[in-house]
Every structure is written in structure tokens, then in C-alpha cells.
Amino acid sequence: MNTTPMTNEQTAIKATYFSIIGNTCLAIVKGLAGFFGNSYALIADAIESTTDIFASLLVLFGIKYSTNLLMKIILMVTVAPNL
């Protein structure tokens, strides 16, 4: 069993994946319930859950991009002055 603590980035990525999975399940259930129950409110809520999925994907992209950008800045600050 791995006992090393997770970094903040790993925690954020894990939470984002849980959010994507949860919102996908919600969108499917709400969409089906709205369709079969003839409820426009549930269909609209399913669409809103789908937009939450896209928002979570943007968060995931931002986490990945910011980590790579931070590493480039750290390398420039530490390696470039020694050249």
C-alpha cells in the first residue's frame, strides 16, 4: 500500500476526475428522467450538468498547463543564470 502523501496537484486532479464522473452520471440520469418524464426542467438541468463537465475539463487543462509553466519558469530562473 502506498503511504506517500499526495501533492496538491494530484489531489486537485483526482477531485476534478471525480467531478467529471459525478456530473456525467447526473447529466445522464437527469436527461433520461426529463425525457421519459416529459420534464423540461430536468432536461435543462441535464444540460447544466453537461456544462459543468466542460468546466471541469477546463480546470483539468489549467492544472496541467500551470504545472508545466511553473516548471519552465523554475528552470529558467535556476539554470539560465549559470550559463
The pTM for the full model equals: 0.74
> Tens of pLDDT along 8-30?
888 989 999 999 999 999 999 99
Sequential DSSP letters for 7-46: PHHHHHHHHHHHHHHHHHHHHHHHHHHHHHHT-HHHHHHH
What's the mean pLDDT in 60-72? 79
Q: Average pLDDT over the chain, rounded to whole?
A: 86
Domain coordinates in residue numbering, the chain: 10-82
